[in-house]
Structure 1
């Protein structure tokens, strides 16, 4: 038991609580028993009082000569005098209460009762009976006073028991408070303080663990946990620092790689500043030097050698002996080469020179490879762009030649025929009279050729300037509107959701411009309505319609070369459509054609291939 008291705070507190509970139970039990006795004393006092009253009533009944009632009251009086209420507290024959009761009982049995019995049978002097009753009442008063003293003693006994129990419980409470304060409060406060220190990241606090109770065991465990957490935290901080350094290095490498990629793949026509990029690469990788040798695809010697810093060039670089670097067999162990290869084409080499004893880590090697690949991709893209420019230039020249052949060359051929005809007529005797029609034809042909030349120049100078088709249409029609006051040009565009190719945009713009110019110059109308709308299933076809309210065109097939209709038809055929020229019933001329944009044609081909 004592060992449990020494090892367990819970056992101590439980034992104290049990002792306090037992004191309370004993105090309440004794109070209940003593209060029951006091209650009997009070009842006995009441019965004694009723006996006193009953004796006077019996005296009065005898004086009234009511024998039957007197006998009944006499029996009732004797029953009350012998009741358990009066006899329960008189078991101790030596007590004052017992002696007082015996005196009352003796007086009743030997004096008053015989006197009452005689008085009921025959009349006797009232004075004698009254005196006997008075003496009996006096003895009853003595008995009542003894019952009162007995009740007072019980109450005093209850007070004593309650006081002793309260004193004992107060003592036990003091002991419990001492145990709570010494063995629970202070250790628990210390444990709470250490827990808050741990919560703030301070693992230096230590709890007292010299005892054998539960809190001492908890303090020992908390100390052990704090030491373990401190070691783990220290290890974790070192790992976090290492990871942070790796992340910072990776972030710097990614940022540098992003800057290099952005500068290499910028839309500028100027070559990138490779030396600036090499300086960034040296700063991030902390190597000694980086050299970049650029070569053509077909060459075996660099056309440009770019070092990251000014230095004395090695002999192999001066002699342009690049085999070792290209074959990744450097002459010194402190350099590593990374070829600039993309799609099987070699564009040079990136050579990294390191400090003495320095070796490339995996992330450095990966970064050098990524940079070399980006440079190779950039050089490849620039080469492809140059090739694309050459192809575009050749295509533009072919377009110009075709336009000149289809328009101006045919007009000049027609003029050449008319000149030959004029010469033939002038050689005749009466040729002067026939010259006038030929000259009119020559004038008309020259005017037509001059107009077509101006239109071709306007066509060749036409630019989209990064606008969409609708904006370019509005701008072109605005230019034509500014040249005439008698014609109103109206645009209805309902194909904004279709991604036209640049070739389609140019052809649509040129056909619209040519048709509007014809309407302005020849229709003699007041309004031209231009509409570009999406039609067909799922809006995958586009219709261009240019309609005026003029006099109309009488013979479209006979005037193909006069109004540029042949060129417009050629443009329509290049988009996969057929140009239609018609005269509506309400007058005017309508030029329209329908085609399927290339984006939908490619999608249809892809779907057909999948199926």
Structure 2
């Protein structure tokens, strides 16, 4: 159906049905009203005509009665009145018809003509002659009057029949109009029922079902009107919605699959990253990760090969799920080492190689052997490359940890060498000098000088032994997972066990992170300052306070209530002070040792942590 077919024909439109039907009903109604009005108007004149014709009988009797009584003037007057009645305007139509004698007249006109001409020709002249007392040939005027009355009665009866005929015609017309109105109304009802109500009901029901999600509904409306056009348009719309819905469902399913795939890849990558970060000892399980990745990929074969920087063969080769075949043995390892120069995975026949590299450092490859001729989906390729990048991060972190560990070992060895040089080496040099003096006194036979030398040797050995124990205690200090606070608490407990002094720790660095090097240096400074306090202050109390200042620097204060510090503290414990000075310089600060006005010694140290320095540089940028 199209609009051209719809526009053809008067009755090709619902509005045409309704318009023609309403016009027909209005026309019938108007015609009925007009005809009824016209007939009633004629009926009103017929009643007047009957009344006038009936009055003419009475006037005729009056003329006869006046003549019998000899009242000739009254008779003449009555004759004139009767003549005027015969020429009344109510009978104008009859008089106009009588002017054309050749026309075929109705019975009413014929009876009017007989009665009227009888009045003019016979009755009136005779009655006038009688009233004028003139001689007349009429034998008896009473017979003329009776004849005129009979003709008048006939005319009155004809008027009555003509009026009744008009009433009957009016009733017949009204019945016909009623029949036509009922017929037209039934036709209109039928058309509205079948061409309007039924299609609208179908459209409404179909619309409700479509609103419930059933887009396969169709409306079957025959014809070429607006509703059939609307039904076909509705069907096309429903089909379009159904097609769009199907396409949308396919897209939703496709997006859902993509989201599921991305979710699988994201969960796997998050798990891998978490395992890398949680492997503090560097023992990350590449085998488990490769096996889990192989489960995600399906039947494809995965192999991991890791190389050293100069190696030509992999030092670690893992095949997913311990498969017996070893694809790597069939290829040249130099090809594996050179693929990191490509920005995309290397595509070979039946396999793909993904580089495990970071910057210019190449760690190895992930070799994928595709099962069959199907191309690996993009999301799986991206997943493998992301895993390769995470492997590169894990290996790079491992190498960085190893470098940091080596650097820390070298730094500590340097500190140990310096501390040994400042303590035991000098003590042993002093003892060597005393042994030389003792040998010379023996050679000279100066035995009286040997005892003081032996006493100095004994004191020097005791001092060296004490220094050795302190150095061993320093070297045995360790930082466990509890952090600086736990290590300081352990150090305080050791100091308490070696002295009767009351040692209090006030730790207030809960909101500031420190790196491992900063924690170790602070721990050593606190230990040396605490040992100096318990060995040389001869006080009763020691306070160790570590807090964060408003400028985000860290301040360490160790105070005691002892005898105070001498003018030359280096002679008292020169190697301990050297250790503290060396540690403070590594942290970018300087130790300040002063005597308190109230008695005792205060060791203070201020430095800025590396995290705060980084934040300051970022803010400045």
TM over 0.5: yes
Task: String of CA shifts for 1:129-149, please: whole Å, max 9, x gaps.
Answer: xxxxxxxxxxxxxxxxxxxxx
Q: Give the alignment of 1:160-559 within 5 angstroms.
A: 184-263=196-275, 266-267=278-279, 269=281, 271-286=283-298, 288-308=300-320, 309-313=322-326, 317=329, 321-326=332-337, 333-425=349-441, 431-432=447-448, 435-436=451-452, 438-484=453-499, 486-535=500-549, 539-559=551-571
Does the alignment pair 1:575 with 2:587?
yes
Task: Name the CA distance, whole Å, in 1 between partners of 2:335 and 2:577.
Answer: 65
Unpaired runs of 5+ in structure 2?
A: 1-7, 34-47, 56-174, 340-344
Q: RMSD of the TM alignment (CA)?
A: 4.6
Cα separation, partners in 2 of 1:19 and 1:473, compared to 1, 3 Å: farther
Would the aligned equivalents of 1:426 and 1:432 in 2 still touch at CA under 8 Å?
Answer: no
Shift of 1:317: 1.4
Task: String of CA shifts for 1:423-457, please: whole Å, max 9, x gaps.
Answer: 44556656447724x44444443333333222222
Unpaired runs of 5+ in structure 1?
A: 28-91, 100-163
Shift of 1:93: 12
Cα separation, partners in 2 of 1:416 and 1:4, compared to 1, 3 Å: farther
Shift of 1:606: 7.1
Task: String of CA shifts for 1:80-117, please: whole Å, max 9, x gaps.
Answer: xxxxxxxxxxxx9999xxx9xxxxxxxxxxxxxxxxxx
Task: Name the CA distance, whole Å, in 2 between partners of 1:400 and 1:195.
Answer: 90
Give the equivalent residue in structure 1 for 2:121.
none
Shift of 1:402: 2.1
Task: String of CA shifts for 1:359-415, please: whole Å, max 9, x gaps.
Answer: 445444444433333334433333333333333322232222222222232233333
Would the aligned equivalents of 1:579 and 1:591 in 2 still touch at CA under 8 Å?
Answer: yes
Would the aligned equivalents of 1:532 and 1:542 in 2 still touch at CA under 8 Å?
Answer: yes
Would the aligned equivalents of 2:346 and 2:354 in 1 still touch at CA under 8 Å?
Answer: no
Cα separation, partners in 2 of 1:556 and 1:387, compared to 1, 3 Å: same
Task: Name the CA distance, whole Å, in 1 between partners of 2:435 and 2:185.
Answer: 140
Would the aligned equivalents of 1:547 and 1:588 in 2 still touch at CA under 8 Å?
Answer: yes
Match of 2:596 among 570, 581, 584: 584
Cα separation, partners in 2 of 1:253 and 1:402, compared to 1, 3 Å: same
Q: Give the alignment of 1:122-137 within 5 angstroms.
A: none
The 10-residue stretch of structure 1 (516-525 or 169-178) with the greater mean CA deviation from structure 2: 169-178
Cα separation, partners in 2 of 1:464 and 1:189, compared to 1, 3 Å: farther
Give the equivalent residue in structure 1 for 2:67.
none
Task: String of CA shifts for 1:303-340, please: whole Å, max 9, x gaps.
Answer: 343333524446x816x743455556999732333343
Does the alignment pair 1:593 with 2:605?
yes
The 10-residue stretch of structure 1 (399-408 or 463-472) with the greater mean CA deviation from structure 2: 463-472
Shift of 1:298: 0.2
TM-score normalised by length of structure 2: 0.63
Task: Name the CA distance, whole Å, in 2 between partners of 1:562 and 1:346.
Answer: 50
Cα separation, partners in 2 of 1:574 and 1:348, compared to 1, 3 Å: closer
Task: Name the CA distance, whole Å, in 2 between partners of 1:468 and 1:13.
Answer: 96
Give the equivalent residue in structure 1 for 2:134.
none
Would the aligned equivalents of 1:578 and 1:594 in 2 still touch at CA under 8 Å?
Answer: yes
Pair member with larger Rg: 2
Would the aligned equivalents of 1:293 and 1:350 in 2 still touch at CA under 8 Å?
Answer: yes
Task: Name the CA distance, whole Å, in 2 between partners of 1:9 and 1:596.
Answer: 92
Cα separation, partners in 2 of 1:458 and 1:183, compared to 1, 3 Å: farther
Task: Name the CA distance, whole Å, in 1 between partners of 2:449 and 2:295.
Answer: 92
Task: Name the CA distance, whole Å, in 1 between partners of 2:505 and 2:588.
Answer: 23
Task: Name the CA distance, whole Å, in 2 between partners of 1:549 and 1:239.
Answer: 80
Cα separation, partners in 2 of 1:174 and 1:463, compared to 1, 3 Å: farther
Cα separation, partners in 2 of 1:370 and 1:468, compared to 1, 3 Å: closer
Shift of 1:209: 1.8
Give the equivalent residue in structure 2 for 1:148.
none
Would the aligned equivalents of 1:511 and 1:568 in 2 still touch at CA under 8 Å?
Answer: yes
Task: Name the CA distance, whole Å, in 2 between partners of 1:589 and 1:342.
Answer: 53
User: Secondary structure of the residue that 1:586 maps to in structure 2?
Assistant: coil
Shift of 1:226: 1.0
